[in-house]
Structure 1
Amino acid sequence: MKSTLDQIEDIKKNGFSLDFATVFNHAFENYKKIALYSGLIILVFTIVIVMFYMGIMIAYFGIESLKEDYLTELTNQKFTIVELLIQTIGFSVIAAFIAPFSAGFLKMADSADKDVEFNVSTMFYYYKGKYFGQIFVAALITAITGNLFSNLIKSLDIPFGNVIAFAIPYIITYFVYLSTPLIIFGNLNAIESLKSSISIITKNPLNIFGFFIIGFIGALVGLVGCCIGIIFTVVFNSSMQYATYFAIFGTHSEEEDSIDSIGKYNVD
């Protein structure tokens, strides 16, 4: 059975194609298996995080910090280079610590796909063992890069600067869309996963961009009607990410050379 890196080398040489309908259907069917359970987990942890955030804001800035005017003023405040750097590092470290939790949804999707039982501990599976460090580093590099360029654009006061600054993190996230699956399913390290994700996506940018956008929109569907519904739809993005990886690399087994499964779900 070829290693993930060998498969990636084949992809670089020969490219790959994806069946849009098959990937979407796989993602949707998988999402239905994990939506309720993951939604309840997100609800509980959202409440905990909000309470923690409010406690920190009150402790450092006082009760006034929870007022809308104060938050608006804080958002529009002009920061110095040092403050921007501290802010960038701070938010990036937080994002990196959250990344293994997000990866837990991919683990949940994989378990559901294979009809393996999963529970709350599944969400924390990647906070232990060899995966944590690699997921943390990959997420830290991604977050620092996105936040750094975004804050830099904001500080330059250029035309449409806010729009560009807003878009940069999402553009970077798109190009490293497969980095976490490559770590947890492909056993790559952080740097290899980031480089490989970029290589794979540039080989078929339109299809994967379609999955990226649909996953993002699908995650936001819960905002329609009742905003709390997003708690149960946000995991659709993870399901789409999992289905995309699955369609490219297929399943890994001792009986099947996994490179043979590339294109198994192709239309072209």
Structure 2
Amino acid sequence: MSEFNEFDQQGSVPNKDTGSIISHSFEMYKGVFLYGIVAMVIYMIAGFAIQFVTGFNSASMMEEMKDAGGDYSSFSYWNVPGFSLYLSLSGLLGVLVAPLYVGLIYIVNKYNTKSQIDFADLFIGYKQNFVNILIYSIISGIISSVAMTLCFFPFIFVYPFLLLGYPILLFENASATEALGKSFNIAKENYGTFLGATVVGGLISIAGVVLCGIGIIATAPFMMIVMYSVYCAFLGKPRQIEFKK
């Protein structure tokens, strides 16, 4: 397993309330948003590649749904060419890009501790605790999918329990189950703040779609910054981790 050298640095820590956490997240994101955009561009390019390989065309499907005139009773997603394969590969992509989220959190902590940031830092999740990051991504993805199939609102109420998973995996080198358990226990004791941070952070993350579709590239990564700020608020500012090459 990779070895890390930890050292203390100065850095800001938000209070344990939603407003302070979101404000802290904004301050952090202003310094690292370009790295968040890079992560999103990588994800989108991979997504377009999957559409090309599978032959699935999301634009055509939207046109078919529009032509249905609001009557979707006879519309079947599974009959759309390439949809089932696209769905499978997209799920796999979601798991494989999870280390990028961890890398962004790592970069945020470097920014907060005023450490030098390297572009390679974005990919540290593929070196540090990689297997557990993938396992956690699968577990959290299943939990989120189940919540989404029930209704959108259960997803909102479930997601706060997953909020600390990725920071714990990175800063504490925990196993996937340890990260899930610790995140759940802390969220359970502070659920109102976690829910507030999730709702506000989520709204900001999807604001790019509402304001200007392509703007999602800039706003979507904000939720990763919220995860870091929540970690700082409830577990303290983590020591900066220096990877030994």
Q: What is the TM-score of this pair, normalised by structure 1?
A: 0.68
Higher helix proportion, which one?
A: 1
2 CA distance for matches of 1:171 and 1:86? 30
Structure 1 residues 176 and 201: CA distance shift in structure 2, 3 A:
same
Structure 1 residues 68 and 188: CA distance shift in structure 2, 3 A:
same
1 CA distance for matches of 2:29 and 2:235? 19
Specify the code of the residue in structure 2 equivalent to 1:200. Answer: I
Q: 1:68 aligns with which of 62, 73, 80?
A: 62
8 A Cα contact 1:149 1:168, kept in partner: yes
2 CA distance for matches of 1:117 and 1:125? 15
Equivalences for residues 214-229 of structure 1 within 5 A:
214-229=200-215
Displacement after TM superposition at 1:55 (Å): 1.1
Structure 1 residues 64 and 205: CA distance shift in structure 2, 3 A:
closer
Specify the code of the residue in structure 2 equivalent to 1:23. Answer: I
Please list the CA deviations of residues 160-199 of structure 1 after superposition, one character each: whole Å capped at 9, or x if unmatched.
xxxx2x4444443321111111111122211011111111
Structure 1 residues 149 and 242: CA distance shift in structure 2, 3 A:
closer
Aligned to 1:44: 41
Q: 2:165 aligns with which of 171, 179, 188?
A: 179
Aligned to 1:54: 51
Aligned to 2:29: 31
Residue 121 in 1 paired to residue 120 in 2? yes
Aligned to 1:136: 134
Structure 1 residues 188 and 121: CA distance shift in structure 2, 3 A:
same
8 A Cα contact 2:232 2:238, kept in partner: no
1 CA distance for matches of 2:215 and 2:87? 30
Structure 1 residues 55 and 20: CA distance shift in structure 2, 3 A:
closer
8 A Cα contact 2:157 2:195, kept in partner: no
Displacement after TM superposition at 1:132 (Å): 0.7
Specify the code of the residue in structure 2 equivalent to 1:56. Answer: V
Greater Rg by CA: 1
**2:211 alignment partner, SS class:** coil
8 A Cα contact 1:27 1:240, kept in partner: yes
2 CA distance for matches of 1:64 and 1:202? 38
2 CA distance for matches of 1:194 and 1:173? 11
2 CA distance for matches of 1:209 and 1:112? 26
Displacement after TM superposition at 1:76 (Å): 4.5
Structure 1 residues 238 and 252: CA distance shift in structure 2, 3 A:
closer
Aligned to 1:102: 101
Equivalences for residues 227-238 of structure 1 within 5 A:
227-238=213-224
For structure 2, the 5+ residue unaligned runs are: 1-14, 67-71, 79-83, 240-245
Aligned to 2:69: none
1 CA distance for matches of 2:203 and 2:166? 20
Aligned to 1:204: 190
Displacement after TM superposition at 1:53 (Å): 2.3
Please list the CA deviations of residues 84-112 of structure 1 after superposition, one character each: whole Å capped at 9, or x if unmatched.
x9999765543322211121211121111
Aligned residue pairs, count: 215
Structure 1 residues 168 and 251: CA distance shift in structure 2, 3 A:
same
